[in-house]
Amino acid sequence: MLSILRQPTFLLFFLGNIISLVGFGFNLIAISWLVLSETGSEFALGKIMASATIPGLFISFFTGYIIDKTNRKWLMVILDAFRIVVILSFLAILQYNEFQIFYLYPVVFFMGIGNSLFWSTSQAFTQEIVSKKDYFNANKLLSASYQIGSILGASIGGFIVHLYDPFVALWINVLTYLISGILISFAPFKEGVTKEKSKSILKSFLRGFTYLKERFDIAVLSTTTILSDVAIWGSMSVLTISISIEIFDKGAWGYGLLDGLYGIGAFISILIIGFLTERLSRKVVLQLCYFFGFICLYFAYIMPNIYIASIFFFFLGININSSRVITRTILMENIDNRIMGRVQTVLGIYSRLMVVMSSLLTGYIIEHISIGAAVIFTCFHFLTALVGISLVGVIWSRSREYLSKVEA
């Protein structure tokens, strides 16, 4: 697995991605804390998180076209610079004006555009710079970069906000995007993929939609398993900090503990996922991941203190990240790189729409019903993914080849 890191292009991209994600972790906890300290409303936090996702939903119509028509390396560098400008603009405004909650809406809107394009580009770029036989290992390492970033961003960010204030965390966020852009810009890269010609953005979008219509097994697999990611990026972006504050009364550092342990578990998963997939089929591993994802989240909620709850977040990270590595590998194996961006466009629109609905509903449920009801709602995401992977393996015969596969 580590042999891929000998490739300078992948290594510099890998390191840049980690640094960028550390910054995202700082940004997420800073914004969350600003909202809750100013309003005390989980529904307000849900609206802010939805606002961060909505621009990604609209720009998704253009994402595939942009990714498949541009140099992906330089696109990521530009996006790092764009996110720096957004945060610095917000901090500059606060030099002359007292903080108001409505200042955050344009910030999260434009950050949502930058994050959406960066993450989609990074996946297509990975597929472009590694060989097909290395997809599984590349996905494990790329997933590791997400988790290292999550661990450092959430845990250190939580303590920075607790010890100082959210604005210090945002200044560190600026620094991380600067370092990320520099590292990726030095990655040696020459485009080697002959990109499929498309006459218009509409035709580009329809090409991705047509592919998923032709490969309905991949469409069903994607739209159901994506819900486990929706639970993390949507529902739990509101739920985790609410559990820390309202159930355990631990504030920002408690959020950092829960999210940090989740990240450590997700990182550990890359060390054991290979062991599991060498002995069990992908389908069985995915079914186990989604089932235990449901169990871990529910038990974390009913634990008597945050330290025991964080252990269940650790195991939640193992399960959800293991499933993410497998499903991304399946998509890379079955989708030609020339149209990967356009297929991601369709899936991105769906996933972001679900994230918007999930974060809004979670905030509303917490505020108007209970945190327990929001936990059950989030668990439903994992159960849907479990049902989806089970159905795909039964209904479509060609899915049996990639779901029954045991990694060599």
For the stretch 322-345, pLDDT in tens is: 888 888 787 777 777 667 767 777
- Provide the token pair at 78: 């530009």
Q: Which residues contact 384 (CB under 8 A, 6 or more apart)?
A: 224, 227
Give the pLDDT of residue 39.
81
Residue 212 inside a domain? The answer is yes
Residue 192 lies in a domain: no
If we measure between CA atoms, which residue out of 225, 229, 329, 326 comes closest to residue 282?
326
Mean pLDDT of 57-64: 71
Answer yes or no: is pLDDT of 400 > 70: no
Retrieve residue 177's tokens.
């995007």
Question: Using CA atoms, how far apart are residues 160 and 74, in angstroms rounded to an integer?
Answer: 31
Q: What is the pLDDT of residues 20-29, one digit of tens each?
A: 888 888 888 8
pLDDT above 70 coverage of the chain, percent: 88
pLDDT at 384: 84
Residue 150 is predicted with a pLDDT of: 67
The predicted-structure confidence for 154-193, as pLDDT tens digits, reads as follows 778 878 887 888 889 999 999 999 999 999 999 887 765 5
- Asked if 62 contacts 187 with a C-beta cutoff of 8 angstroms, the reply is no
- Residue that wins the pLDDT comparison between 278 and 291: 291
pLDDT score recorded for residue 401: 62
Q: pLDDT value at position 323?
A: 85
% of residues, the chain, pLDDT over 90? 12
Q: What is the pLDDT of residues 221-245, one digit of tens each?
A: 777 777 777 777 678 878 888 888 8
Binned at pLDDT 50, 70 and 90, residue 399 comes out as low
Residue 2 lies in a domain: no
Asked whether the predicted pLDDT for residue 146 surpasses 60, the reply is yes
pLDDT tens for each residue of 183-219: 999 988 776 555 555 556 667 667 777 877 777 777 7
Q: Which residues, 6+ apart, have CB-to-CB distance to 236 below 8 Å? A: 362, 378
3-state SS, one letter per residue, for the chain: CHHHHHCHHHHHHHHHHHHHHHHHHHHHHHHHHHHHHHHCCHHHHHHHHHHHHHHHHHHHHHHHHHHHHCCHHHHHHHHHHHHHHHHHHHHHHHHHCCCCHHHHHHHHHHHHHHHHHHHHHHHHHHHHHCCHHHHHHHHHHHHHHHHHHHHHHHHHHHHHHHHCCHHHHHHHHHHHHHHHHHHHHCCCCCCCCCCCCCCCHHHHHHHHHHHHHHCHHHHHHHHHHHHHHHHHHHHHHHHHHHHHHHHCCCHHHHHHHHHHHHHHHHHHHHHHHHHHHCCCCHHHHHHHHHHHHHHHHHHHHHCCCHHHHHHHHHHHHHHHHHHHHHHHHHHHHHCCHHHHHHHHHHHHHHHHHHHHHHHHHHHHHHHHCCHHHHHHHHHHHHHHHHHHHHHHHHHCCCHHHHHCCCCC
On whether residue 262 sits in a domain, the answer given is yes
Q: Are 8 and 334 in contact (CB under 8 A)?
A: no
> Is 195 a member of any domain?
no
pLDDT at 393: 67
| Residue 215 located in a structural domain | yes
335/286: higher pLDDT? 286
Domain hosting 181: range is 12-186+200-403
pLDDT at 43 over 60: yes
pTM for the whole structure: 0.71
The total number of structural domains in the chain stands at 1
Q: Give the number of other CB atoms < 10 A from CB of residue 398.
A: 11
CA distance 8 to 108: 33
pLDDT above 80: residue 248: yes
Q: Judge whether 142 lies within some domain.
A: yes
CA–CA gap between residue 115 and residue 108 (Å, rounded): 10
Greater confidence (407 vs 239) lies with 239
Q: What is the pLDDT of residue 79?
A: 93
Residues 341, 343, 349, 350, CA torsion sign: negative
The answer on pLDDT for 392 being more than 80 is no
- Model pLDDT for residues 365-388, shown as the tens digit of each residue: 988 898 889 989 888 888 888 888
Residue 34 CB contacts under 8 Å (≥ 6 apart), including other chains: 99, 101, 104, 166
Check which CATH number belongs to the domain holding 79 and give it: 1.20.1250.20
Specify if 4 maps to a domain. Answer: no
Q: What's the pLDDT band for 35 if we cut at 50, 70, 90?
A: confident
Provide the pLDDT for residue 402: 63
